[in-house]
Amino acid sequence: MKEKKQNCQKNQDTESVASSQCQVTRRAVLQGAVALGAATVGGMALNLTVAKQAEAAERAMPQTWDETIDIAIIGSGFAGLSAAAEAADKGGAVIIFEKRSTYGGNSIINGGEYNAWDDELHLRQQLKLGDDSAELHKNDTLKGGDNYGSPELVEILTAHAPEALNWMIDNGGLKLRNILNRTGGHTAYRTHTCEEGVGRGYTEAIKKIAVGKGAKIRLNSTLKWIWRKDADPQSPVEGIEVQTGRRTKNIKITKALILASGGFSRDIKMRQSFNPSIVPEFNCTNQPGATGEVIRNAQAIGADALQMAFIQLYPYAEPETGMLDAPAVYPFRGPGYGIVYVNRKGKRFVNEMERRDVVSMAQIKTGMKPTYSIFNEAMIPKMGTMEEVEKGLAKGRFIRAATMAELAKKLQISANVLQETIDTHNRYLAAGKDPDFGRQFTKAMIPLLDGPFYAIAQWPAVHHTMGGLRINSEAQVIDIWGNPIPKLFAAGEVTGGIHGDNRLGGNAIPDCIVFGRIAGTSAQKAG
């Protein structure tokens, strides 16, 4: 899947410059060309929305403002909270606008996995899990996205991931489990898990920092429009229109607007317009608010978006609902410790160490829903806690059996086939070579010899949108001509160009927090 670069712009990954056609287009925009649907004169606001859409209506710039604040942040997940924490550090009015009735968005229900090549606890060294480095993490991330990601942005993400993790530990009270996983697509054990086992462990830590520095959160507050006069490179964002309940307010922004609203996985029409293969029949792991309108609002004022066709499936979601609950993270954590994936016939179908898109496509090609992860009790302390597993068993999410034959019976799989599959995998693990699928074995992996044995059903669901707004190293939003839009910043899943066509699991949280902190710091300098 290779998206064509269609915009006239200075791309991060090409040496081309804006063509004369683009220069004419800019001139036309500045003159208020009707063809672009932009009214830029006579007190009208910039609107580059395609004509004949409801959002394309002409809008007059506010004559008066209902409120004035220094920094507005849209979205209260990892990125928005991190931006608020840094933006509020030097004082001034910093307000997070969250459209839902609770804070946290997708972040609070995230699987709780954070990739960093080191941490102040030095877990990798303590657990004797080999070597790692920022360079290795960077290379894995670029390769995992088929080199579509920006090397500059990926280097920032991986280099600063440990620092951001330590920041939450030291200032927010974040606690980590004493485990470290090597997950699909990674060549080292670097995936950390918070004590809570879900994203709330991180959001609570960052929220504590942000609120402690004076940032405020307004719930039930939906961004309706971004006010900008014209597309001139010197023309800044001036304010936002926000709806709270039945009341709509125009809020003037003196320093900066930071967009941290997440992706568009829940907007089926938007997904289909960029990638028709992500059909409506796929479930989705996201909360209902992941609908992408903030990206469209930013595009209306000239923001560039890229790689919008890159949409990720999470291969381990609950098969019927698409839920990403605590049990659904075990198949993700397990590859570094020997977990085995099998289809409904009891046979392996993929290299368990592969990245998410490869595993998802392999599952779909089996033509049999669902597939299963098989593990034993010895692996549980490496992946999570017995308490979590017991809760999962009570809900019917995990299946337990004393023997492999009993497990096969409960899964309605041939006992002989499943036993042969596991025996073969055990032999491959002992020999250190997998001639069937090329699995990379390590000394930390545990053979499936002794029970009790466990299984969990899994199936792909829409999970992450890698495409979004184009940003630079300062988290400034770049316009379609390659220039930063004054006073506009973005971080997290609302942005694109970092992960390429596939995000490695565990990279989302450091992406959001590292670039959220950068956006907040940059915003303080913008006014």
pLDDT in tens, 202-214: 999 999 999 999 9
pLDDT at 52: 75
Q: What is the pLDDT of residue 57?
A: 85
Rounded to the nearest integer, the mean pLDDT of the chain is 92
Confidence of residue 23 (pLDDT cuts 50, 70, 90): very low
Residue 28 has pLDDT above 70, yes or no: no
> pLDDT band at 30, cuts 50/70/90?
low
CB 248 within 8 A of CB 241: yes
Residues with a known catalytic role:
356
Position 279 pLDDT exceeds 80: yes
How large is the average pLDDT for residues 379-384? 97
pLDDT tens, 389-440? 999 999 999 999 999 999 999 999 999 999 999 999 999 999 999 999 999 9
Task: List the Cα angle 520/135/173 in 5-degree steps.
Answer: 45
Name beta bridge partners: 453: 376, 401
Which residue did the predictor score with more confidence, 41 or 523? 523
| Percent of the chain topping pLDDT 70 | 92
Structural element, H or E, at residue 138: helix 134-144
Question: Would you state the torsion angle of the CA atoms of residues 44, 50, 53, 58, taken in this order, to the nearest 10 degrees?
Answer: 10
Helix-helix angle 200-212:508-526, to 10 degrees: 20
Ordered by start, the domain boundaries in the chain are 315-462
Q: Amino acid identity, residue 291?
A: T
Backbone angles phi, psi at 64, to 5 degrees: -135, 160
pLDDT of residue 9: 35
Q: How confident is the model at residue 335 (pLDDT cuts 50, 70, 90)?
A: very high
Determine the CATH number of domain 315-462: 3.90.700.10
Q: What is the pLDDT of residue 152?
A: 98
Least-confidence region, from 23-37, 142-156, 385-399:
23-37
pLDDT in tens, 35-80: 343 444 449 999 999 887 778 889 999 999 999 999 999 999 999 9
Query: Which of helix, strand or coil describes residue 422?
Result: helix
pLDDT value for 11: 38
User: Rg of the Cα trace of the chain?
Assistant: 24
Token pair, residue 205, equals 């830590």
- For the chain, the first-to-last Cα distance in angstroms comes to 40
d(CA 8, CA 379): 52
> What pLDDT is stored for residue 515 in this prediction?
98
Mean per-residue pLDDT for 4-33? 40
| Residue 316 near residue 127, CB atoms below 8 Å | no
Instruction: Print the SS3 string covering 322-351.
Output: CCCCCHHHHHHHHHHHCCEEECCCCCCCCC
Average pLDDT over residues 257-280: 97
Query: What are the pLDDT digits (tens) for 449-496?
Result: 999 999 999 999 999 999 999 999 999 999 999 999 999 999 999 999
What is the predicted pLDDT for the residue at 18?
A: 34
Burial class (CB in 10 A: 0-12, 13-18, 19+), 187: middle
The C-alpha angle with vertex 388 and arms to 386 and 392, in degrees rounded to 5, equals 115
Token couple for 108: 């609070």
Condensed to tens digits (0 to 9), the pLDDT of residues 358-379 reads 999 999 999 999 999 999 999 9
Position 19 confidence tier, pLDDT thresholds 50, 70, 90: very low
The residues, any chain, with a CB within 8 Å of residue 86's CB and separated by 6 or more, are 516, 517, 518, 519, 520, 521, 524
How far apart CA 469 and CA 345 sit, in angstroms, is 43
Between helix 200-212 and helix 78-87 the angle, nearest 10°, is 20
Burial call 84-98: b when 16+ CB within 10 Å, e when fewer: bbbbbbeebbbbbbb
> What CA–CA distance (Å, rounded) separates 418 from 404?
8
State the maximum Cα–Cα separation within the chain, in Å, rounded to a whole number.
78
Measure the CA–CA gap between 387 and 167, rounded to whole angstroms: 29
Note whether 484 and 478 are within 8 A (CB): yes
